[in-house]
Structure 1
Amino acid sequence: MGVSVDAVFGTASSQAILAWERQGLLGPDVTLIHSTGLTSEAWRAIGDTGTTIALAPTSDAQIGLETAIPAVDEALGAGVRPGLSIDVEVALASDMFTQMRALHAIQRMRAVNAAYGTGAEPRRISTFDVLDFATLQGARTNGLGDVTGSLTPGKQADLLVIRAQDINNMPLNDAVGTVVLGSDARNVDTVFIAGQVRKWAGDLLDVDLAALRDEAAASRDRILNARA
């Protein structure tokens, strides 16, 4: 059974992480979400204990959580390959394409800025890195590394098929680059979850979209009316 801790920010969270380390509470079954503005000692504790990290690239940057910079460099520096998360779907993009692209752009901007004028080579992450964060590391971070996250014999048959010859991502030259930098939700053609088809030829299956829209609108109206 795993434990996820949200709102891990700054000095107070850093102190808590060190206390959890002393108490033997950290480890691979613990996921710390965000992890922005943590001290170097806190990152040392995270790395030493194998604690997992879930970054929320658009949330940190858009909402402005602590430093507002997704802590990808800090995580990698501590030997942790992070997973990606969305955080708040009502305010942020709910697809992993956006999370991958945001993290890729922010980290590379940060790397180039740090090296600017020094003659040093910027330490950029790659498209392969962010795809790994969104898939294999995302599953591991959620305690599902033995179940999903990669196409491996013995794992659950979760498969997402992306059209690579659409107007926004053709022509196909590099598969990973196309997924991370050229594609978005409109290009998802087919989805299998545990071997069951949930989307086929661009259409969701077994979902009454009209009823779902009505239900979402009714939920919104109920909340707004309760606040009035």
Structure 2
Amino acid sequence: MLEEITVAVAELKFDTIRKLCEEALKQGHKPMEVVEAMRKGMEEVGRRYERGEYFLPELMIAGDTMKEGMEVLQPYLEKGEGGARAKLVLGTVQGDIHDIGKNIFAMLARASGFEVIDLGVDVPPERFVEAVEREGAAVLGLSCLITPALPTMRQTVELLEKRGLRQKVKVILGGAPLTEELGKKLGADAAVNDAVKGVEILKGWFPKD
């Protein structure tokens, strides 16, 4: 069943993913196992995009397919670990309106016990920093799918530094163009191109008591 879910995401089978996820849960698979199966499907989508077999419309359909599956899993994930570990301010940076990866990350973070303040998309640096200060957040998550918006990530980190907040908050960057090396250049503590890995990093920073 998990392999079928991976194939469904890779083959853009939006109409069947909800039923497959429901069936996997009925068969006793853990919600995170289903998430991992969908993630593998998204990896295959990425490979097909790199080979020129898929284009932007296919990427959008794949993202919607995974989002549809996540909606099935959300109630089960939220029953998961419970207990607030830390507060996270999250958003897609200014110049970018993509939110599927961000939304999946937010859902998984909440399921792992983090309080998430989601600012949405096309968020300017000033608004991120104001939210971190106002909420007393321990983590700032910046999402970006398109490379022209990457400089905004650096600008946001620099503004944190100017406000004297950088030492008080962990910064994690997420999005397809990101690598660990690029994350360091942008001034972040971590950078990932996978929502599941991103949440694992959060859990490492803030272990559950």
Compare relative contact order (CA 8 Å, sep 6+) and give the higher one, 1 or 2: 2
Q: TM-score, normalised by structure 2?
A: 0.31
Q: TM-score, normalised by structure 1?
A: 0.29
Structure with greater strand percent: 1
Which protein is bigger by CA-based radius of gyration?
1
Structure with greater helix percent: 2
